[in-house]
Amino acid sequence: NVTGVVSVARDIRELKEKELNLEASRNMLRVLAARRDSAREEERKRIAREIHDELGQMLTAFRLDVATLKFEHGTKDPAIAQRCQKLIEMTDQTIQVVRNIASALRPASLDMGMSAALEWLANEFQIRTGVECRLHIGPSLDGFTEEQSTAVFRIVQESLTNVARYAQARQVEISLRETAEGYAMTIKDDGKGFDPDGVRGRSFGLVGIRERALMLGGDVRIDSRPGEGTAVEVVIPFPHGGRRLAA
Ligand SMILES: Nc1ncnc2c1ncn2[C@@H]1O[C@H](COP(=O)(O)OP(=O)(O)OP(=O)(O)O)[C@@H](O)[C@H]1O
Ligand SMILES: [Mg+2]
């Protein structure tokens, strides 16, 4: 039946076309997401700098004035000395809060290279959660572009947030090393684990991790089972493809 064959051929062609269109829109979405992310990072950087510089300077000036006040009038009146001291302590605390907010938005260490940024993150996490956080970074890992370091940083940040929220872990280990295919990064906890197939489409953390890795031309594997901890494994190809030249 010739008409039948022709119509099946047409159906297949239409299906193929639809598949290609779908693939094209997926890629377009990915490009849009990448652009939105980098705009957001720029904005964070700007806000962090402003909070840090402007607020920081004003608070420092304020602190100096109170210290002067205490020096000039405190000896005559111990109550004034005490009030001034209290104000100085409150200002110090506020300066610390401002620093923390700025760092959370955009760690200054991110501009000092990958290792410094990850050390800051691991240390911060350990202090905040009490979960032991070990960091193994292979040598010569500072050849990351800014786009790469930001993506790696945000991936580790989201993974650690998940560990803090859900894992009930005692320990988490972050490792980053060079392999033949590119950089390999693992964030592994010894917590309660989960079924990765069971969470599809409900939340954005793991999806975001995957998108960031794909944007860099890499890939992600979530290795977890209830009762067996979780490992997030990311492979990031070297920039410009191929092997990185020895430094
Ligand atoms: N390290 C982990 N240990 C145990 N469970 C985890 C871990 N990481 C993720 N999960 C589980 O996977 C789910 C999905 O994580 P995901 O980061 O995608 O979303 P979320 O954290 O729930 O929300 P969002 O990240 O969008 O704020 C979590 O709700 C949690 O049940
Ligand atoms: Mg999450």
Q: Which residues line ligand 1 (CB under 6 A)?
A: 162-163, 166-167, 189, 191-194, 199, 203-206, 230
Q: From the CA of 166, how far away is ligand 2's center (Å)?
A: 9
Measured by CA distance, the residue closest to atom 17 of ligand 1 is 205
- Of all residues in the chain, the percent with pLDDT exceeding 90 is 52
Q: Would the pLDDT of 114 be above 90? A: no
Listed by start position, the domains of the chain span: 2-105, 112-236
Predicted confidence at residue 245, as pLDDT, reads: 47
Q: From the CA of 166, how far away is ligand 1's center (Å)?
A: 7
Q: What is the mean pLDDT of residues 169-177?
A: 96
Q: What is the mean pLDDT of residues 158-167?
A: 95
- Topology, domain 112-236: Heat Shock Protein 90 (3.30.565)
Question: Which residue has better confidence, 133 or 108?
Answer: 133
Distance of CA 207 to the CA centre of its chain: 13
Q: What is the mean pLDDT of residues 60-70?
A: 95
Pocket test for ligand 1, best of 160, 170, 199, 212 (most atoms within 8 A of CB): 199
Q: Would the pLDDT of 96 be above 60? A: yes
Q: How would residue 34 be classed by pLDDT, with cut points 50, 70 and 90?
A: confident
Q: How would residue 246 be classed by pLDDT, with cut points 50, 70 and 90?
A: very low
Residue 222 contacts residue 230 (beta carbons within 8 Å): yes
Question: Which residue has better confidence, 32 or 70?
Answer: 70
Distance of alpha carbon 189 from alpha carbon 221, whole angstroms? 14
Predicted confidence at residue 32, as pLDDT, reads: 86
Predicted confidence at residue 140, as pLDDT, reads: 65
Q: ∠ at Cα 177 (174, 181), nearest 5°?
A: 125
Measured by CA distance, the residue closest to atom 7 of ligand 1 is 162
Q: What is the mean pLDDT of residues 147-161?
A: 90
N- to C-terminal Cα separation, the chain? 67
Pocket test for ligand 1, best of 154, 157, 194 (most atoms within 8 A of CB): 194
The residues whose Cβ lies within 5 A of ligand 2, an ion, are 162, 205
Predicted confidence at residue 243, as pLDDT, reads: 52
Predicted confidence at residue 68, as pLDDT, reads: 95
Tens of pLDDT, residues 191-235: 999 999 888 767 788 988 988 898 888 999 999 999 999 999 999
Q: Would the pLDDT of 81 be above 80? A: yes
Ligand 1 atom closest to the Cα of residue 163 is 1
123 CB neighbour count, 10 Å cutoff: 13
